[in-house]
Amino acid sequence: MSAALRVRTLRELLVVIVVVFGVGSIAMLLAHVSPVDGFAQLVDGAFGTPEEVGETLVQAAFLLFPALGIAVAFRAGLFNIGAEGQLVLGGFAAGWIGAQLPLPAYVAVPMVLLAGAVAGGIWGAIPGFLKARFGANEVIATLMLNYVATLLCTYLVTGPLQQGGATAAETGALPKAAHLPDLIGLLADPQPTLAYLLTPFALAVILAFVLRRVLLHTVFGYELRAAGDAPEAAKRAGIDLGRTALVAMAISGAIAGLGGATIVAGELHRFNTGLSAGYGFIAIAVAIVGNLDPLWIVVASIAFGMLQSGGIAMQAEAHVPKEVIALVTGLVIIALAGRRAVANRRTT
């Protein structure tokens, strides 16, 4: 990293810190809470006990999957704001398949995750295809498909694909075999509740390392980045921009869909239409703060996971409405919308 770039990065991180603490403090003062107490409760609620650390990492994992997916699309110069829909559809496919698989765990769990990835991948590939074939703006397409995804899942789960036993907008429950295994439990753990929580995070971190390798050290990753950084030059060098867009969007969607499947198999153990608390949108902040680099995105996901899990404690203990967290998240996105990595995206 060059010195100039390092200064720039430091300045951007400073902006994030100022936004988080400045706006957070003002909001807490408005709620008649001392910012010192508020932030103390936030950190304590996120890291105070082993269970809370576990919950923070779960939240980090649920943000990490869509954020990694977003980073892939962004690096290819495609602004995928459809991670939310891709995640929801992935969760639906995972829940629907998972609830009716009478299989042993070593088959059921991979099947459930695969179902989520395939469904999310298809949902991501649609705007990729529309862009490659018709030049349709992927931003608007992914945005519109978010709503279509939620509506489609609601329709399927209450209509043609309704499963016995489910009364609300949800699938049947996943059998125990389709639950994500308890990572530390496999190593003989006395506290299984905390332990299973770590599996999604471990999976997401492994994925981040793989993704970094693919992006930086493979021909495909090079083509993808070239299409994003200098589309004209890439085209002249013989890179098929349409195909790259399609593949990048499919991979991006598949990763977000995998995230949805992880929420279903790791936490809820069934799909319901409210499974995402806006993870696909908050993940945009995570991806940008992580500068679209998979490993920095891991770090950013822990910070945002902390805000998510600590925010609930902050509301309960310090009586600061937890909406402060979403408010700060939105402002961080605005503040960092000028990052170079973001500004590079192809605009047509």
Interface with another protein in residues 153-212 (CB under 8 A) = 154-155, 159
- Least CB distance from residue 177 to another protein, whole Å? 31
Q: 10 Å Cβ neighbour count for 316?
A: 12
CA distance 340 to 336: 9
Q: Which stretch binds another protein (CB under 8 A): 88-96, 132-140, 196-204, 294-302?
A: 132-140
- Least CB distance from residue 152 to another protein, whole Å? 7
- Least CB distance from residue 339 to another protein, whole Å? 8
By CB under 8 A, residue 141 contacts another protein: yes
Which member of 15, 40, 111, 139 binds another protein (CB under 8 A)? 139
- CA nearest 264: which of 140, 30, 110, 93? 93
Residue 195 or 284: which CB sits closer to another protein?
A: 284
Q: 10 Å Cβ neighbour count for 224?
A: 26
Which member of 22, 48, 135, 274 binds another protein (CB under 8 A)? 135
Q: Which stretch binds another protein (CB under 8 A): 40-48, 115-123, 140-148, 219-227?
A: 140-148
By CB under 8 A, residue 104 contacts another protein: no
CA distance 38 to 316: 11
Which residues 6+ apart lie within 8 Å of 6 measured at CB? none
- Least CB distance from residue 60 to another protein, whole Å? 18
Interface with another protein in residues 12-41 (CB under 8 A) = 27, 30-31
**Is the CB of residue 201 less than 8 Å from the CB of residue 58?**
yes
Which member of 18, 168, 218, 323 binds another protein (CB under 8 A)? 323
Q: 10 Å Cβ neighbour count for 193?
A: 12
Residue 147 or 220: which CB sits closer to another protein?
A: 147
- Least CB distance from residue 328 to another protein, whole Å? 8
Q: Which stretch binds another protein (CB under 8 A): 93-101, 106-114, 248-256, 327-335?
A: 327-335
Q: In angstroms, how far is CA 211 from the centroid of its own chain?
A: 14
Give the side-chain half-sphere CA count within 13 A for 44. Answer: 12
How many binding residues for another protein (CB under 8 A)? 50
- Least CB distance from residue 321 to another protein, whole Å? 4
Q: In angstroms, how far is CA 265 from the centroid of its own chain?
A: 16
Residue 51 or 323: which CB sits closer to another protein?
A: 323
Interface with another protein in residues 268-307 (CB under 8 A) = 278, 281-282, 284-285, 288
By CB under 8 A, residue 136 contacts another protein: yes
Q: 10 Å Cβ neighbour count for 122?
A: 18
Dihedral angle, C-alpha 94, 100, 105, 109, nearest 10 ° = -10
By CB under 8 A, residue 137 contacts another protein: yes
Look at the alpha carbons of 139, 94, 244, 336 in this order and tell me if their dihedral is positive or negative: positive
DSSP per position, 299-323: HHHHHHHHHHHHHHHHHHHH---TH
Helix or strand or coil: residue 104? coil
Which member of 14, 18, 140, 277 binds another protein (CB under 8 A)? 140
Which member of 2, 3, 11, 134 binds another protein (CB under 8 A)? 134
With residues binned 3-state (H G I as helix, E B as strand, rest as coil), the percentages for the chain, rounded to 5, are 75, 0, 25
Q: Which residues bind another protein (CB under 8 A)?
A: 27, 30-31, 79, 81, 130, 133-137, 139-141, 143-145, 147-148, 151-152, 154-155, 159, 278, 281-282, 284-285, 288, 321, 323-327, 329-338, 342-343, 345, 347
